[in-house]
Chains A and B, each alone.
Chain A
Amino acid sequence: MNAPTPPPPPPYAPPPVPPVVDLTAPAAPPVEPWAEVPHPPPVAPPIAPPVEPWADVPPVAPPPVAPTPAEPWAEVPPVPVVTPPAEAQVDDPTAPSLWAEPAAATEAPEERARVGGIRDDQLPGRLDVHQLSQWFNKRKVLERCSLSMEPGEVTALIGPSGCGKSTFLRALNRMHELVPGAELSGQVLLNGVDIYGVDMSPTEVRLRIGMVFQKPNPFPAMSIADNVLAGLGLSGSKTDDPEGLVEQCLRRAGLWAEVKDRLNESGMSLSGGQQQRLCIARSLAVHPDVLLMDEPCSALDPISTRVIEETIRELCHDITIVIVTHNMQQAQRVSDQCAFFLVETLGEPGRIVENGPTERMFDNPSDPRTLDYVNGRFG
């Protein structure tokens, strides 16, 4: 468990039924509770040994399959083990579980060899949205949006105000259930499991798919450290090393150096940018597969925005990030993939006009409306 040695190839023992990953098992490497489900072609999910997810690897140069000790590990503290909450565990063994690590894992070695350790595919947190439509009080605000969000990538949702980007984002972790009169159709698949499926608990979904909001909102009644650990208490998880978890999450959010001497102060005493990074750290503490960010920088100054963007680039190596942004330059800077939302005429629902790799979307979009938008001709 102690870095800097890279972890051994994980023992892919099929988990007992109910399929809950027991992360406290002594032999288990400190992996994220990640799930792999046989996925329909063309994207087969091959498995590669889990690399330390927090490894600080440059995005352009993915490491080989068996990574050699890398410099950044030296700084990373030992990873505390987080036990999944009892409440999130599904009693019914046949029920789909986002915690499940199904049989696909055992077939992994060959596939892994074939794919040759493309880092992106090893990670959990693949999100596929199929024909998602959303209604509020019978008014349709989103129509047939389909999008795949690859693990290890940053997907930016762009578009003018009121085009349904935030609605789409919030549908990804069942936040609309808080709103009476919200209905939807279509599917949202996390690792191939429909998060809106029968017996799927919203709390479990939200534990796997974290969210950072527009306005920084640390819990006022808690200190900085308690804020980071809040997710554990809130989801009923436990950790054997709270201090280590706090340090690890704050480091990953790029906040450790600034707050390490005042962990017991109130979270409200931080600046806006620091508060937002504290919120990111808070989301990381429960080890989500996916992190949704709803305009995380819109309430912040340019300096804090840059720090957060750097944090996003660091994080995306081991977590799927979906970010809503109004800022075209920001989308260009942080994202690998873009989806452009648009309401064509007033009163119509929003649709995805075009999506694709960021570079293509900005340099050579196929749709003229996208071209107009990314060049600032409207919106």
Chain B
Amino acid sequence: MTVELERTDTIWLDESADVAEVDEVVEPVVERPIVDDPEPPASDPDVPFRPSALGPSDRLEFVLSAVSALAFAWALCLVMDWSAPLTFAIWAIIWFVTGTYVTARARTSKVVAMDRLVTTLIWLSGAFAVGVLGWMIVFVLIEGIGGLVDDLPTSEWVARLGAVTLMVAVAVVVRWRLGRREAAGTGTALTRLLPRVVGAACAVGAMLVILPVVNTEFFTSDIAEVGPLDEGGGIYHALIGTLEQISIATVISVPIAILTAIYLHEIKGRLAVPVRFIVDAMSGLPSIVAGLIVFTVWVNTGRGFSGASAGVALAIIMIPIVTRTAEEILRTIDNGLRESALALGAPQWRSVVQVVLPTARAGLITASILGVARAIGETAPVLLTAFGSAVTNYNPFSAPQSDLPLFIWGLLREPNEAQIARAWSAAVVLLLLVLVLFITARVIGERGARKRTGR
């Protein structure tokens, strides 16, 4: 017993030994003997508390570092006469990070201070990534939303947005409160039904508020007759192109991708090693090369630009994405299910078709939707294969065709404000499409995973 205590002491004293300490232990042992508060505070044994790695001193130091960083950066910019906000931010962050390290180092040990430093840096990188994503989405929405709705006075804007927010809030709150009762086991038929009814009512209400002010012309006309400086014009031709090209790409790529995934994971045939190798190579294929190959093989051999060739190029991009995701999904399926099916006397194809695929269905749908979400935003391959057009071309098998990214791309190269504004509005539509596809894929995938594991 004595020996152990002695060992502990040496470890604490020898900081260079790189043995880490935890704040709560360090404080009493090394720096501060317990004098302020000899008796532990009486806590109510019935009230749960959550042990936290951050003590009050840590929090105080974080706040002090942050405040002093802002003050320092402000003073520095004032003195040096710098005006760029990013310069301010860079200095503030440098000061903040240093400050958290120095204060922790002064109070505790090198190891704890290092831990603190890294924690701060990692939180900053997390905040940076979330901030960038949020900034980008908000920026696109602000730039582009103007072209999607009619011109409205600010007061009406506020009123309509307020109404929509209110309805969403009501739906969320009702769902959350009743969901809690449901989870607690005190749910009734009413608590099950009400969230759905309220949700549907709020959705309809929000539609009623928003739809009348939507700029319908933007969605129902093309820009064939619209001059560069004119008002009006829309994305109808691009929507048609996107729809047709994505459908063609999906029809080609999804069966090939899922069958390839089955080949790789269910059959494990002789070609499995080279095919996996090639699928890996395809997934890193630059999208413009996918366009270039279809251009070389198909378009440039006298067949001309067309929506279908864009569909093929997009399919080349989708195949590796869907294959890899589908293979991951197949991998999550318990091998016991396959063995059980075989043990019931099933040939392999029945085991795959009747057991594996139904079990993986939600995951495979998710994989396909994610592939579509990726393909729908690709510009470079479509540029080389469909080329783009200002008129509405319903036939994907001949003549150039536009689609949403291509439409935006074309407008961005033009020098006037009206065209750029149109591009932003189309970008909002594209972003919303991707968001909707992505969220749909996630929801289906989550439900499927829950069903698979039986919860």
A residues near B (Cβ < 8 Å) are: 85, 87-88, 173, 175, 178, 180, 202-204, 206-208, 210-211, 213-215, 217, 219-222, 230-231, 233-236, 266, 268-269, 279, 282-283, 286, 292
Tell which of B343, B354, B451 touches A220, judged by Cβ atoms closer than 8 Å.
B451
Beyond the given A217-B336, A219-B355, A235-B346, could you list 19 further A-B residue pairs with CB under 8 A, ordered by the A residue number? A175-B342, A175-B343, A178-B338, A203-B347, A204-B345, A206-B346, A207-B344, A210-B343, A215-B336, A217-B334, A219-B358, A220-B337, A220-B452, A231-B344, A234-B346, A235-B344, A268-B453, A286-B345, A292-B343
Q: Does B15 contact A (CB under 8 A)?
A: no
Q: Evaluate contact between B351 and A234: CB separation under 8 angstroms.
A: yes
Number of A-B contacts (CB under 8 A): 96
Dominant secondary structure of chain B at its interface with chain A:
helix
7 nearest A-B pairs in the assembled complex, by CB-CB distance: A207-B345, A268-B454, A234-B346, A221-B358, A211-B343, A231-B344, A235-B345
| Chain A neighbourhood of B338, CB < 8 A | 178
| Chain A neighbourhood of B340, CB < 8 A | 211, 213, 217, 219, 279, 282
Tell which of A206, A219, A282, A292 touches B342, judged by Cβ atoms closer than 8 Å.
A206
Q: Evaluate contact between B354 and A234: CB separation under 8 angstroms.
A: yes
- A-B residue pairs in contact (CB < 8 Å), sample of 10: A180-B268, A203-B342, A213-B340, A217-B336, A219-B337, A219-B341, A234-B354, A234-B355, A235-B350, A282-B344
Q: Evaluate contact between A87 and B359: CB separation under 8 angstroms.
A: no
Q: Does B442 contact A (CB under 8 A)?
A: no
| Chain A neighbourhood of B339, CB < 8 A | 175, 178, 211, 213
Measured in the bound complex, the distance between the Cα atoms of B354 and A313 in whole Å is 32
Contacts known (A221-B359, A269-B454, A283-B344); A233 close to B268, Cβ less than 8 A = no
| Chain B neighbourhood of A230, CB < 8 A | 341, 344, 354-355
Measured in the bound complex, the distance between the Cα atoms of B346 and A173 in whole Å is 12
Q: Evaluate contact between A178 and B344: CB separation under 8 angstroms.
A: no
Measured in the bound complex, the distance between the Cα atoms of B340 and A286 in whole Å is 13
Contacts known (A220-B452, A269-B454); A283 close to B343, Cβ less than 8 A = yes
A288's nearest neighbour on chain B, judged by CB, is B345
| Chain B neighbourhood of A203, CB < 8 A | 342, 345-347
Q: Does B361 contact A (CB under 8 A)?
A: yes
Specify which of B336, B339, B342, B344 lies most central, judged by the most chain A CB atoms within 10 Å of its CB.
B344
Specify which of B340, B342, B355 lies most central, judged by the most chain A CB atoms within 10 Å of its CB.
B340
Measured in the bound complex, the distance between the Cα atoms of B341 and A87 in whole Å is 15
B341's nearest neighbour on chain A, judged by CB, is A234
Tell which of B336, B346, B452 touches A213, judged by Cβ atoms closer than 8 Å.
B336
B268's nearest neighbour on chain A, judged by CB, is A180
Measured in the bound complex, the distance between the Cα atoms of B344 and A283 in whole Å is 6
Measured in the bound complex, the distance between the Cα atoms of B335 and A215 in whole Å is 11
A269's nearest neighbour on chain B, judged by CB, is B454
Measured in the bound complex, the distance between the Cα atoms of B346 and A206 in whole Å is 8
B355's nearest neighbour on chain A, judged by CB, is A219
Q: Evaluate contact between A206 and B345: CB separation under 8 angstroms.
A: yes
| Chain A neighbourhood of B347, CB < 8 A | 87, 203, 236
Number of interface residues of B (CB under 8 A): 25
A173's nearest neighbour on chain B, judged by CB, is B343
Q: Evaluate contact between A206 and B336: CB separation under 8 angstroms.
A: no
Measured in the bound complex, the distance between the Cα atoms of B452 and A283 in whole Å is 21
Specify which of A207, A215, A221 lies most central, judged by the most chain B CB atoms within 10 Å of its CB.
A221
B residues near A (Cβ < 8 Å) are: 268, 334, 336-347, 350-351, 354-355, 358-359, 361, 451-454
A207 CB, nearest partner CB in chain B, Å:
3
Q: Evaluate contact between B355 and A221: CB separation under 8 angstroms.
A: yes
| Chain A neighbourhood of B337, CB < 8 A | 217, 219-220
Q: Evaluate contact between B358 and A234: CB separation under 8 angstroms.
A: no
Q: Evaluate contact between A210 and B268: CB separation under 8 angstroms.
A: no
| Chain B neighbourhood of A231, CB < 8 A | 344-346
Measured in the bound complex, the distance between the Cα atoms of B347 and A85 in whole Å is 11
Q: Evaluate contact between A206 and B344: CB separation under 8 angstroms.
A: yes
Q: Evaluate contact between B345 and A88: CB separation under 8 angstroms.
A: yes
| Chain B neighbourhood of A87, CB < 8 A | 347
B361's nearest neighbour on chain A, judged by CB, is A221
Q: Evaluate contact between A233 and B345: CB separation under 8 angstroms.
A: no
B342's nearest neighbour on chain A, judged by CB, is A206
Q: Evaluate contact between B342 and A233: CB separation under 8 angstroms.
A: no
| Chain B neighbourhood of A175, CB < 8 A | 339, 342-343
| Chain B neighbourhood of A282, CB < 8 A | 340, 344
| Chain A neighbourhood of B342, CB < 8 A | 175, 178, 202-203, 206
Specify which of B340, B341, B343, B355 lies most central, judged by the most chain A CB atoms within 10 Å of its CB.
B343
A218 CB, nearest partner CB in chain B, Å:
9
B28 CB, nearest partner CB in chain A, Å:
46
B191 CB, nearest partner CB in chain A, Å:
21
Measured in the bound complex, the distance between the Cα atoms of B277 and A185 in whole Å is 35
Contacts known (A220-B454, A266-B454); A234 close to B336, Cβ less than 8 A = no
Measured in the bound complex, the distance between the Cα atoms of B358 and A231 in whole Å is 15
Measured in the bound complex, the distance between the Cα atoms of B344 and A15 in whole Å is 25
A227's nearest neighbour on chain B, judged by CB, is B340
| Chain A neighbourhood of B346, CB < 8 A | 203, 206, 231, 234-235
| Chain A neighbourhood of B341, CB < 8 A | 219, 230, 234
Contacts known (A206-B342, A206-B345, A283-B343); A233 close to B354, Cβ less than 8 A = yes
| Chain B neighbourhood of A268, CB < 8 A | 451, 453-454
Contacts known (A213-B336, A233-B354, A234-B351); A219 close to B344, Cβ less than 8 A = no
| Chain B neighbourhood of A279, CB < 8 A | 340
Q: Evaluate contact between B343 and A219: CB separation under 8 angstroms.
A: no
B350 CB, nearest partner CB in chain A, Å:
5
B345's nearest neighbour on chain A, judged by CB, is A207
| Chain A neighbourhood of B361, CB < 8 A | 221
| Chain B neighbourhood of A292, CB < 8 A | 343
B451's nearest neighbour on chain A, judged by CB, is A220
Q: Evaluate contact between B454 and A234: CB separation under 8 angstroms.
A: no
Q: Evaluate contact between B334 and A234: CB separation under 8 angstroms.
A: no
B452's nearest neighbour on chain A, judged by CB, is A220
| Chain A neighbourhood of B454, CB < 8 A | 220, 266, 268-269
Q: Evaluate contact between A234 and B359: CB separation under 8 angstroms.
A: no
Measured in the bound complex, the distance between the Cα atoms of B346 and A230 in whole Å is 10
A344 CB, nearest partner CB in chain B, Å:
30
B120 CB, nearest partner CB in chain A, Å:
44
Q: Evaluate contact between B344 and A234: CB separation under 8 angstroms.
A: yes
A292's nearest neighbour on chain B, judged by CB, is B343
Tell which of A206, A215, A233 touches B343, judged by Cβ atoms closer than 8 Å.
A206
Specify which of B268, B354, B359 lies most central, judged by the most chain A CB atoms within 10 Å of its CB.
B354
| Chain A neighbourhood of B351, CB < 8 A | 234
Specify which of A220, A236, A266, A292 lies most central, judged by the most chain B CB atoms within 10 Å of its CB.
A220
| Chain A neighbourhood of B358, CB < 8 A | 219, 221-222
B351 CB, nearest partner CB in chain A, Å:
6
B358 CB, nearest partner CB in chain A, Å:
4
Q: Evaluate contact between A233 and B336: CB separation under 8 angstroms.
A: no
Measured in the bound complex, the distance between the Cα atoms of B337 and A235 in whole Å is 15
Specify which of B337, B345, B350, B452 lies most central, judged by the most chain A CB atoms within 10 Å of its CB.
B345
Measured in the bound complex, the distance between the Cα atoms of B22 and A197 in whole Å is 67
| Chain A neighbourhood of B453, CB < 8 A | 220, 268
| Chain B neighbourhood of A178, CB < 8 A | 338-339, 342
Measured in the bound complex, the distance between the Cα atoms of B114 and A227 in whole Å is 57
Measured in the bound complex, the distance between the Cα atoms of B338 and A213 in whole Å is 11
A171 CB, nearest partner CB in chain B, Å:
13
| Chain B neighbourhood of A210, CB < 8 A | 343-344
A127 CB, nearest partner CB in chain B, Å:
15
| Chain B neighbourhood of A286, CB < 8 A | 344-345
Measured in the bound complex, the distance between the Cα atoms of B453 and A203 in whole Å is 28
